[in-house]
Structure 1
Amino acid sequence: MFRTGLHYLLAGGVVPNVLSSVLQPTPPMGFNDWSAFMCGLNESVFVDTAHSMVDNGLLAAGYNRINLDDCWSSMERAANGSMQWNTEKFPHGLPWLTNYLKNLGFEPGIYTDAGNLSCGGYPGAYGHEELDAQTFASWGFTYVKLDGCNMPTGTEPEYKAVYGKWHSILSAMDPPLVFSESAPAYFAEAANLTDWYDVMTWVPKFGQLARHSRDTLVWNSTLYWPNIAVRLARFQRPGYFNDPDFLNVDHFDYTLDERKSHFAIWATLSAPLIISAWIPGLKAQEIEYLTNKEIIAVDQDPLALQATLVSQDGTFDVLTKNLANGDRLLTIINRGNQSASHSVSFSRIGIGSTPAVNVQDLWTGSQSYAKNQITASNIASHGTAIFRLSPIGKECEVIPTGVIFNTYSLTTLTTSHGQISWANSTGTDGQVWQTREDGTIRNIIDGGSCLTELKGGKVVLASCAGTTNQQWDYLYSGNVQSRSSYNCLTEEADEAVVTADCLYEDNIQVFGLPSGVAIVED
């Protein structure tokens, strides 16, 4: 197995044998109607979907949640203030539907909105939180998705207060309900991301998953996911998952390779696998990849790590993370417009000295051996290769390795000819860094040189000497803090690399680091 040591276990947060106390230890899997039907939902949609999921092996593969989204209710509350279902859409009633779904083996979930009205214009839950939670539980729901439209003021403190109230209510119920939060999505694309980062610090304390950004629509919208999801890897842990939204796998604008990429990317991120599609109409080849046991196992891995970027060069995105049994995941996404091959060296993915690794292609199940590098041949345009790597013969240490980037500007820490700067990602070795257990940060080109803070705040690469000005801590806020000055790594306007007084989740000081680096509570 690959050995990761204390440094990595701190990042994982919880080891598998203590996960029994976590309400949702691995990402939820199932179905939601929204992307496929929007307000066109009704009773038969869920009944037909449930039977199709049973018949096609989706339930057996782990897709055990069926969630109603917006527009399920009447336009008015009852005289006593409680919510009412739309009797035309649900003639047997929601308690009947939840019982029906549970008898088939599913767990039912329901949607509401934190504001005065839902996004579709139906009654919101603002001011009715306790009554609505009790109502949903009495109807048999075990999961609540809370959207964030039409809040009275729309400020971050208001969202925190309302979502915190829902957390208190849902977690105190017997049994507690799974809480899916949408608050971060309402702050994700502001010019100043401080509020978004702030929301992301409290949603893991309140719920089990949180929508962090816009809806998924078509392949072109999923192209922006590296600009969003990988910014947030530090927040994820067993029991809390960053949610990039639904698997809308039957969208007319997806090719089959793009649909498979969508699934593989979400699994690589250990994201919720919530299908939003007309499941009775899915083709056999779509059911086949959605029930791929090896890729589902990656998504459901007990460490729950979100993969981070090894490199980006404009065509290929490379991601990696560790898995609970000691294996290493490698995912290569071809964002180009033609088929192409791509190789990744062992040093780029943090694999130390080992003669070879066993490589399992998770699409085909085929096994091969690799020395020094892994090559993915003929990846289709917008296709994704996904491999599970196991060392051969002996235990091997893994060093957290990958890009270090500003999560606002997306510029990457870069070394070239001995000089460092912030630059656009080009996929060179000069942009791939090791974050070691001793607190040092080293580029893979020259492992004997360390990121070093000089007096006055300038940051350079210098020969590693074991001094505190070469040691750094990665804070939960995203700051990279010097152990010498306690100042924080900063991107200046001229792309200079410096340290400065630590600011609160400021655009110029929040960074993404490789998966597996220890995170220090700040």
Structure 2
Amino acid sequence: MFSFPAWVATVGLVALGSLNIVHALNNGVAKLPILGYNTWNAYQCNIDENLLLTTAKLMKSLGLQAAGYEYVNIDDCWAEKNRTAEGNIIEDQVRFKNGMKKLTQQIHALGLKTGIYGDSGWFTCAGYPGSYGNEVRDAQTFANMGFDYLKYDNCAIPYDNITRQGIVGKYQRMSDALIQVGKAVGKNFVFSLCEWGWSQVWLWGAQLGHSWRTTGDISTQWESLTSIINFNSFLTQATNFYGRNDMDMLQLGNGGLTFEESKSHFTAWALMKSPLLIGTNLSAITPEILGILTNKEILAINQDPVVGTSISPFRWGVNPDWTSNDTHPAQYWSGQAQFGTVFMLLNTLNEPSTMTFNLTESPFIRAGRQYSVRDLWTHTDNGTAVRTFTAKDVPPHGVIALLLKDAGDEPAGLYPACSVWWQCTDKNGTRVGG
């Protein structure tokens, strides 16, 4: 556990926000976070065309497509282990015997989009052909197969005397190839960089793609979630329209997480505007997990067409502000939304907790005003908050998600005259009381 000086963290966040806004890759696709499915968490290499088509049909029948999930993405292990004599990557001839083009056509016919997986090195992480030195050839292959999206990994990097460039240049090669091929075939690809954050990808990823992994792989343990939330709490200004911090795939329903932890997982990912890629076996999904994934009020914040920015911490809670702690990340968060201010209260403790805050701790709340309170999980209107809000008995590892809307001036005659009384003075210089 360590603490950043507040001025260092603040300067860093402002710089990140400015860079993203100026350099975001706006090519007409993926203005908002991607919603969809990825095969890796549930199946790893045990994939075939029947599984993908079944999954696509389940996305439709379970109501996931109607909730906004539209991508069906194939991860590693889809190809033959060797390229053809002509140098092309081809699909596994047994598991995808009818060809990727037919599969993508079938999925497209359901009204969904399709994604494929590649690697910036010699091989993928599972040992299948990577794209280094074949970027244009492989981009053309992916286009011919009918894919709309490319997840691009970072395994088997060539020696320095071969690349003679940094990690940015290695990803630039495929970004340029996708643009070149896209222009030729009339398609704009969604390019997702899976670089794991080792080279500060949040500083440059928006110049090349629409999302970038900021950490290593997620697991099914609560500590994995808190570590990812903690790390990303210092990077929130790097995400905006056409460019997203990717916090990795959703682990709901894969075991290891309680129901409350699953809600916290989904809420943090959605409100921090990460892509939402389901990694669950949809054939075995429970109604409870499906209910979390299809929470329309939470999804509406993630897919806000007017405000593209993430929520950010306004108070850390358990620890002093600006403290990095993998097991106890920031607890009090807020951000702008199209119709109000969104709040997330995250209980990182192993016991129930009462969580309270002064409304104006959030920079998006006006002093001297009262706010209507909408609970985004119970889907209820919970009265009006004046100056403070308190959530009692938040479950261990649980979450509260709220949307506050301006409801006019606060009641007259409140004492003291300022909710944060020690910051205010009368015009003659005297304190207002407390």
Query: What interval of TM-score do these two structures reach, taking the shorter chain for normalisation?
Result: 0.7 to 0.9
The 1:377–1:268 alpha-carbon spacing in structure 2 relative to 1, beyond 3 Å, is same
Structure 2 counterpart of 1:59, from 58, 62, 65: 65
Indicate which of 264, 270, 276 corresponds to 2:273: 270
> Which residue pairs with 2:358 in the alignment?
345
**Aligned CA distance change for structure 1 residues 364 and 12 (closer, same or farther; 3 Å):** farther
Is 1:313 matched with 2:328? no
Q: Contact conserved, 2:123 with 2:129, CA < 8 A, in 1?
A: yes
Post-superposition Cα deviations, 1:7-53, rounded to whole Å, max 9, x if no partner, equal 9xx97987xxxx99642110000000111111111112211111111
Matches within 5 A, 1:75-474: 75-153=81-159, 157-172=165-180, 173=182, 174-183=186-195, 185=196, 187=198, 196-197=199-200, 199-218=201-220, 219-302=222-305, 303-314=307-318, 317-325=331-339, 327-350=340-363, 351-368=365-382, 369-393=384-408, 447=423
Q: Among 27, 33, 53, which residue is 1:27 paired with?
A: 33
Check conservation: 1:22, 1:238, Cα contact below 8 A: no
Partners in 1 of 2:293 and 2:246 — Cα distance? 18
Q: Higher helix share goes to which structure?
A: 2
Match of 1:241, as an amino acid?
R
Please state how far the C-alpha of 1:354 moved relative to its aligned partner.
3.2
Q: Are the counterparts in 1 of residues 197 and 213 from structure 2 also a CA contact under 8 Å?
A: no
Q: In structure 1, what is the Cα distance between the partners aligned to 2:264 and 2:270?
A: 10
CA contact (8 A) 1:261 1:383 kept: yes
Deviations 1:356-375 (A, max 9, x none): 10110000111121111122
Partner-residue secondary structure (3-state), 2:45:
helix
Cα distance in 1 for partners of 2:158, 2:422 equals 54
SS at match of 2:313: strand
| Amino acid of the structure 2 residue aligned with 1:175 | K
Distance verdict in 2 for CA 1:238–1:116, change over 3 Å: same
C-alpha distance 359-20 of structure 1, shift in aligned 2 (>3 A): farther
Residues 270 and 301 in structure 1, CA contact (< 8 A), matched pair in contact too: no
Aligned residues: 379
Q: Give distance in 1, aligned partners of 2:137 and 2:289.
A: 41
CA contact (8 A) 1:112 1:125 kept: yes
The answer on whether the counterparts of 2:28 and 2:188 sit within 8 Å (CA) in structure 1 is no
Change (3 A) 1:21 1:43: closer
Q: Which runs of 5+ in 1 are unaligned?
A: 1-6, 188-195, 396-443, 450-462, 464-522
Partners of 1:379 and 1:216 lie apart in 2 by: 25
The corresponding residue for 2:3 is none
CA distance in 2, matches of 1:361, 1:13: 31
Deviation at residue 215 of structure 1 after TM alignment: 1.0
Counterparts of 2:102 and 2:230, CA distance in 1: 42
CA deviation string 1:394-448 (max 9, x = no partner): 69xxxxxxxxxxxxxxxxxxxxxxxxxxxxxxxxxxxxxxxxxxxxxxxx78647
Alignment partners' CA distance in 1, 2:356 and 2:103:
50
CA shift for structure 1 position 201 = 2.1
Aligned Cα RMSD in Å?
A: 2.5
- Name the CA shift for 1:230/1:87 in 2 (closer, same or farther; >3 Å): same
Q: TM-score, normalised by structure 2?
A: 0.82
CA distance in 2: counterparts of 1:144 and 1:275, whole angstroms: 16
- Report the 3-state secondary structure (helix = DSSP H, G, I; strand = E; otherwise coil) of the residue aligned with 2:175: helix
Aligned CA distance change for structure 1 residues 323 and 186 (closer, same or farther; 3 Å): closer
The percent identity for this pair of structures is: 30
Q: Counterpart of 2:331 in 1: which secondary structure? A: strand
Residue 266 (structure 1) shift: 0.5
| 1:236-271 deviation line (CA, Å, top 9, x unaligned) | 110000000000111211111111111001011011
Q: Distance in 1 between matches of 2:261 and 2:378?
A: 17
What's the offset of the Cα at 1:145?
0.6
Counterpart amino acid of 1:212?
T
Q: Which residue of 1 aligns with 2:8?
A: none
Task: State the distance in 1 between where 2:91 and 2:204 align.
Answer: 32
* Amino acid of the structure 1 residue aligned with 2:352: S
Counterpart AA for 2:310: Q
Q: CA deviation at 1:153?
A: 3.5
Corresponding residue number in structure 1 for 2:50: 44
- SS class of match (1:24): coil
Structure-2 separation of matches of 1:357 and 1:12: 33
The one-letter code matched in structure 1 to 2:312 is: T
Residue 404 of structure 1: aligned partner = none
Is the contact between residue 20 and residue 239 of structure 2 (CA under 8 Å) also seen in structure 1? no
- Equivalent residue of 1:367, what SS? strand
Report SS of the residue matched to 1:112.
strand
Distance, in Å, in 2 between the alignment partners of 1:157 and 1:324 is 42
Pair 71,232 (structure 1): closer, same or farther in 2 beyond 3 Å: same
Instruction: Give 1:167 shift.
Output: 1.3
- Are the counterparts in 2 of residues 270 and 305 from structure 1 also a CA contact under 8 Å? yes
Could you tell me how far 1:200 is from its partner in structure 2? Answer: 2.6
Q: CA deviation at 1:106?
A: 0.8
Is the CA contact 1:354–1:391 (under 8 Å) kept in the aligned structure 2?
no
CA contact (8 A) 2:101 2:146 kept: yes
SS class of match (1:40): coil
CA distance in 2, matches of 1:47, 1:283: 20
Name the CA shift for 1:11/1:132 in 2 (closer, same or farther; >3 Å): closer
Report SS of the residue matched to 1:47: helix
For the 8 Å contact 2:19–2:203, the answer to whether it is kept is no
Provide the rounded CA distance (Å) in 2 between the counterparts of 1:61 and 1:13.
28
Q: What is the CA–CA distance in structure 1 between the aligned matches of 2:358 and 2:148, rounded to whole Å? A: 45
Q: Contact 2:38 / 2:277 at 8 angstroms: preserved in 1?
A: yes
Output the CA distance in 2 between the equivalents of 1:49 and 1:445.
56
Conserved? CA contact 1:12–1:237, under 8 Å: no
Cα deviation code 1:337-388 (max 9, x no counterpart): 1222211111211322233101100001111211111222221111111000
